[in-house]
């Protein structure tokens, strides 16, 4: 006679959800790599550091597609965060950000439009890390 032992994990999935990764693919216009790199190293980095300080994101990085084909992004901009914010939390974050950045929404849209001259956002995906259940 054999006895089957049922473990608690037999009824649990093998993974648990981890951090979220927002990945944006960027195509850079010919000859504009340095201009965009300078913006990323200044404004974008300053904004990202603020988001880390506030606890809104855990980390951020820029990944270069070294051998990008014509239909692929040149860069991937990655922001990692622990969980999705509620609508109310997003409103608080927006208010805190505008108080910190000291720019109007109109000014920020204008600046973003200016970057469209030398970079194209190809896509943005939201991924969730899957961690093995211990």
**Residue in 58, 75, 68 with CA at minimum distance from that of residue 21:** 58
Three-state helix/strand/coil letters over 36-62: HHHHHHHHHHHHHHHHHHCCCCCEEEE
What's the pTM value of the predicted model, to 2 decimals? 0.84
Per-residue pLDDT of the chain (134 residues; tens, 9 = 90+): 555 544 555 788 999 999 999 999 999 999 999 999 999 999 999 999 999 999 999 999 999 999 999 999 999 999 999 999 999 999 999 999 999 998 888 888 888 878 889 999 999 999 999 999 98
- Name, in order, each residue with C-beta under 8 angstroms of 73's C-beta and a sequence gap of 6 or more: 25, 26, 27, 65, 122, 123
**Among all chains, which residue has been given the structure tokens 């890390």?**
129
């Amino acid at each position: 006679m054999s006895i089957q032992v049922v473990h608690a994990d037999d009824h649990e999935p093998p993974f648990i959800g981890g951090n979220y990764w927002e990945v944006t693919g960027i195509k850079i216009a010919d000859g504009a790599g340095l201009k965009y790199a300078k913006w990323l190293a200044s404004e974008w980095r300053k904004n990202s550091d603020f988001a880390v300080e506030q606890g809104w994101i855990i980390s951020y990085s820029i990944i270069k597609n070294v051998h990008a084909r014509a239909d692929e992004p040149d860069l991937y901009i990655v922001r990692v965060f622990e969980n999705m914010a509620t609508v109310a939390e997003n409103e608080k974050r927006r208010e805190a950000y505008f108080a910190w950045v000291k720019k109007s929404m109109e000014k920020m849209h204008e600046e973003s439009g200016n970057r469209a001259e030398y970079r194209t956002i190809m896509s943005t995906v939201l991924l969730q890390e899957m961690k093995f259940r211990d």
